[in-house]
Amino acid sequence: MHSRLFLLRVTCIALLLSTFGWLRCTPIASDEPENVLSLAGAWRFRIDSLDEGMDRQWFAQTLPETVQLPGSMQENGKGNDVTLATQWTGSIYDSSWYFNPRMEKYRQPDYLKFPFWLTPVNYYVGPAWYQKQVTVPDHWQGQHLTLLLERAHIGTHLWVDSTDVGTQNSLVAPHVYDLTDYLTPGTHTLTIRVDNRQSVMNVGPDSHSITDHTQGNWNGLVGRLELRARAPVWLDSLQVYPDLTHKKARLTLKIRNATGQPATGTVRVVAQSFNVAQSHTPDPVTVDFQTQGETTDLTLDLPMGDSLLTWDEFSPALYRLTAELTTDAGQRDQQQTQFGMREFTTNGTRFYVNGRETFLRGTVENATFPLTGYVPMDVAAWERVFRICKEYGLNHMRYHSYCPPEAAFQAADRVGIYLQPEGPSWANHGSSLGDGRPVDLYIYDETNRMGQWYGNYASFCMMAYGNEPRGGHQADYLGDFVEYWEAKDPRRKYTGASVGMSWPLVPQNEFMVKSGPRGLAWDQRPETESDYRERIQDFDVPYVAHEMGQYCVYPNFKEMRKYTGVYQPNNFELFQEDLADHHMADQADDFLMASGRLQVLCYKHEIEKSLRTPGAAGFQLLSLNDYPGQGTALVGMLDVFWDEKGYFDAEQMRQFCNTTVPLIRVPTFVYQNDETLTAAVEVAHFGPAPLRQARPEWRLLGVDGSVVAGGILNQQDIPIGSNTSLGTVEFPLASLTEPTKLHLEVTLAGTAFQNGWDFWVYPAQTEAAPEGVYITTQLDARAEQILQQGGNVFLDASGKITKGKEVVQHFRPVFWNTSWFKMRPPHTLGILVDADHPAFAAFPTEAHSDLQWWSILERQQVMHLEDFPPDFRPLVQPIDTWFLNRRLASVLEARVGAGKLLMTSSDLTSDLANRPAARQLRQSLLAYMASEEFSPQATIPLATIRALLTEESREQFDPYTLQSPDELQPNLHKPTN
């Protein structure tokens, strides 16, 4: 009952507001110069940090300073210096930086380096005033006049010549003021008070529409700033509803009449394709109208004919539609919009575009644009982003708790990207949904504005309220929200919220965005036989994997030179300096490259697992590019600027993320040479049409690129869909007598579609342990005696490490980042291996983690080398989280006393019959120790080795606060400085 009454209240209010125009957002009229007066340029300005401007009537005074608009205060150098006491907009989950003595030097006023996010050059939250004189042309007399502020942050209050016009508050759409009754030909003064305090509307401090974790809580006016003149009888709204079944477009128009007299006339509608080679112009349609009061609704059909062009990711054909109103009194008004003939529907658990099954391969866009601090307002910038996404095999983008400006929809329409914008809210961490707060109605207001302003764009295919809300009535609220929109506008599909698994289900959802079908079960042996079918089997609507991935990579410090705008990479500078303080500055690039290769491996296997899942609808990566907030989440294979980092490119990603992807199902990637490599091959194909007589081919390649084996699988038609079997690859491995790495490649001949996987093959028969090496699992008296006498000791200290036991190593890398989750494991980012070292002569490896290392690294201990010489480097070095930068080791060698020691914290002793990779590494290390090449360069005191087994690390992570994340604010404790 609570939710139904709320829905009734919201619906009534929305209809009332729409009737009186308060929810109405005026679409763009013709851009004829005589109808538009740009307000870009110099504006007078005054900051109002004491919030006294209203009482002191600043709207009636000349403001003293000057700024350039469009722009933000930060871009104009306005605001306060960032200090330790700056009150940020955003949750700080790990506040240890404020109290950790090791971080004290970064808390100094002249050396502030916050690790949570990028640091703005200046900062301001509160009201600020902007003022400009305008001259209204004589020929605008008697016209309908409006002020358009394309994107304001957050609320605006407008005065014309000291007369209060009113306020507006939208984070998703332009603020449009009707100034017909306030402007006459001549000079006038516009004064705008912009307030970016969260108190204007509490959408949640971590909402990407406002938070300092992402674009930042900026103050200003960006995009188009314009005065517009329209005829007193004008077209106020134009919505286009494609109908492919009947080959027509239904148009709904609102005609507004401010003359006070009835008006009659005609509306003529013309459409023309404009962005594809094939031209199509439907026959124009003209209808008569007669106004009834101030607002008249008009509905008409535009037949598109048999030659209509459809819009999708493969052929994004667009039409430019012009509606021209002419009254019998000679008044004329014109409005344009673009649209595509597109139907986005569902059938069972899959999405369909124009009746063709599709699979969403998406990324989350997080409003991270550090040069300006706000999202781009131009089409070219968004088109670059979308074309990069397409190059990397993606066709979909979710906007996390925010809605982009019109330029993004225009660019997505051109490129062919399916968008899921959201209301501007992550109603959590101090906000909630369904509890009667103002945000409940605000979400309806905002999403109505989104539908009004951007609803015609073909790329606008999906919508949600926002992200992961709080609130005991949220499910009822969101269910009503979905039903409201399902009834109101059938052009797209709706879900209540994008959420993790702990959020309640919303049965009314037309599709799910939830985190069930994601993750790699690499606490067990890596394989590709499994998929996510059990995670989605209880759902009968499309299920999109929420925020898939989140695999971290080490910071790319070369990226810092790109920060030439309003945000500075002080977090990167802190991490870089801390790495140097731990004597590893020279390894930064190696850490980036090695961790990057593991990151790519994880993304590949998770994406392929999604593509293998019968009935899966798609995924949304978090994300293709980095997220520099929430503790600095370096989860992107691209940096925050959408540039490559050096270890991965689009061609590589298109192998496993594309319209068409060959896939395999295998039980393991590590074999013995008395086994047969058997791989069941299938394909996921979501291209524009079925593939006729496709010819799948396979090859097994050696490390030198030579062909070890190959063949042709079943030549066949491949329908649109997933799980189409192509046959089986079988290859007995007996001919491989040496430890070998193989690469299996599957290609659809004559196409660009291919994919590949690495395998490792080891001899089933092992050699006896070499003489002259004392093998032990403890640093006992015998081991110490042998070292003192000049002998060789192999020490498997797995399970016995004390200095480093606090570091939790999984094979997978850090998830999101260790700061946001207060050092939740895993803590490492893979390993850096001295791959050319003779110790690995019989264990083929590269310089980074790969699947043959899984049994050697998964949940194995590491050694903390805090007492070792600064230049000491181990053979196998786990890469620590960049928040601590501890020097770690899994395998090291050293001269100890008169002898030589090779020590491992990974288990290379137990159950070797079922762990062929661990067995082979052990054999390779022992063979090296028995050779003349065993010659460690570093000399380490026995006491230092012993300390690894007996003493705890001096440097330990301390959260310093015990409160829940919502309460972790710096003012809870007095900082140490």
> pLDDT digit string (tens) for 631-686?
999 999 999 999 999 999 999 999 999 999 999 999 999 999 999 999 999 999 99
Rounded alpha-carbon distances, angstroms, from residue 585 to 314, 454, 576, 870, 877: 46, 49, 7, 11, 14
Residue 966 has pLDDT above 50, yes or no: no
Tokens, residue 266: 């005609």
**Terminal C-alpha separation, the chain:** 53
Mean local confidence (pLDDT), 963-970: 38
Which pLDDT score, from 0 to 100, does residue 432 have? Answer: 96
Rounded alpha-carbon distances, angstroms, from residue 843 to 380, 525, 839, 901, 916: 49, 19, 8, 19, 11
Residue 971 has pLDDT above 90, yes or no: no
Report whether 309 contacts 338 (CB < 8 A): no
Ranges of beta strands (E only) in 90-216 are: 119-120, 127-136, 144-153, 155-160, 163-169, 175-178, 186-195
Which pLDDT score, from 0 to 100, does residue 968 have? Answer: 33
Rounded alpha-carbon distances, angstroms, from residue 653 to 383, 415, 544: 20, 19, 20
- 383-386-390-392 Cα dihedral, nearest 10 degrees: 120
Distance CA 875, CA 841 (A): 13
pLDDT band at 766 (very low <50, low <70, confident <90, very high): confident
Name the 3-class secondary structure at 397. Answer: strand
Tokens, residue 847: 């310089």
Q: What is the largest CA-CA distance in the chain?
A: 111
CA-nearest of 849, 881, 362, 809 to 601 is: 849
Which pLDDT score, from 0 to 100, does residue 93 have? Answer: 80
**Stated pTM of the model:** 0.95
Mean local confidence (pLDDT), 599-615: 98
Mean local confidence (pLDDT), 455-471: 98
Mean local confidence (pLDDT), 490-504: 97
CA-nearest of 504, 502, 509, 503 to 543 is: 509
Which pLDDT score, from 0 to 100, does residue 959 have? Answer: 84
Residue with tokens 């068409």: 660
Q: For strand 543-549 and strand 618-622, is the pairing parallel, antiparallel, or unpaired? A: parallel
Mean local confidence (pLDDT), 931-959: 96
Residue 806 has pLDDT above 70, yes or no: yes
Which residues, 6+ apart, have CB-to-CB distance to 302 below 8 Å? 248, 249, 250, 251, 269, 271, 282, 285, 321
Mean local confidence (pLDDT), 63-73: 98
DSSP 122-157: SB--SEEEEEEEEEE-GGGTTSEEEEEEEEEESEEE
Backbone angles phi, psi at 307, to 5 degrees: -95, 15
CA-nearest of 841, 847, 907, 838 to 876 is: 847
The Cβ-side half-sphere exposure at 800, using a 13 Å CA radius, reads 18
Rounded alpha-carbon distances, angstroms, from residue 416 to 26, 55, 307, 352: 26, 51, 20, 15
Mean local confidence (pLDDT), 238-255: 98
Which pLDDT score, from 0 to 100, does residue 972 have? Answer: 29
User: Would you tell me how many other CB atoms lie within 10 Å of the CB of residue 254?
Assistant: 18
Report whether 526 contacts 669 (CB < 8 A): yes
- Determine which of 353-357, 765-769, 951-955 has the lowest per-residue pLDDT on average: 765-769
Residue 768 belongs to what H/E stretch?
none
Which pLDDT score, from 0 to 100, does residue 684 have? Answer: 98
Residue 251 has pLDDT above 90, yes or no: yes
pLDDT band at 4 (very low <50, low <70, confident <90, very high): very low
Which pLDDT score, from 0 to 100, does residue 20 have? Answer: 33
Rounded alpha-carbon distances, angstroms, from residue 35 to 141, 196, 334, 427, 603: 12, 31, 11, 40, 51
Residue 435 belongs to what H/E stretch?
none
Mean local confidence (pLDDT), 283-311: 97
Which residues, 6+ apart, have CB-to-CB distance to 173 below 8 Å? 25, 403, 446, 449, 450, 452, 453
Which pLDDT score, from 0 to 100, does residue 32 have? Answer: 60
Domains, the chain, ordered by start: 36-229 (2.60.120.260), 233-344 (2.60.40.10), 356-647 (3.20.20.80), 674-762 (2.60.40.10), 773-949 (no CATH)
Distance CA 178, CA 312 (A): 37
Residue 26 has pLDDT above 60, yes or no: no
Report whether 626 contacts 640 (CB < 8 A): yes
Mean local confidence (pLDDT), 26-41: 71
Which pLDDT score, from 0 to 100, does residue 962 have? Answer: 63
User: Would you tell me how many other CB atoms lie within 10 Å of the CB of residue 778?
Assistant: 12
Which pLDDT score, from 0 to 100, does residue 657 have? Answer: 98
Residue 19 has pLDDT above 70, yes or no: no
Residue 964 has pLDDT above 80, yes or no: no
Burial 722-735 (b: 16+ CB within 10 A, else e): bebebbebebebee
Report whether 814 contacts 826 (CB < 8 A): yes
The mean of the pLDDT values for the chain is 94
Residue 9 has pLDDT above 50, yes or no: no
Which tops the pLDDT comparison, 8 or 820? 820
Which pLDDT score, from 0 to 100, does residue 768 have? Answer: 86
Mean local confidence (pLDDT), 170-196: 98
Helices (H), 455-549: 474-488, 533-536
Distance CA 569, CA 580 (A): 17
Sheet containing 891-896, strands listed edge to edge, beginning at the edge strand earlier in sequence:
773-776, 792-796, 899-904, 891-896, 876-880, 828-833
Per residue in 194-245, pLDDT tens? 999 998 899 999 999 999 999 899 999 999 999 999 999 999 999 999 999 9
Which pLDDT score, from 0 to 100, does residue 14 have? Answer: 44
Residue 189 has pLDDT above 90, yes or no: yes
Q: For strand 670-672 and strand 754-762, is the pairing parallel, antiparallel, or unpaired? A: parallel
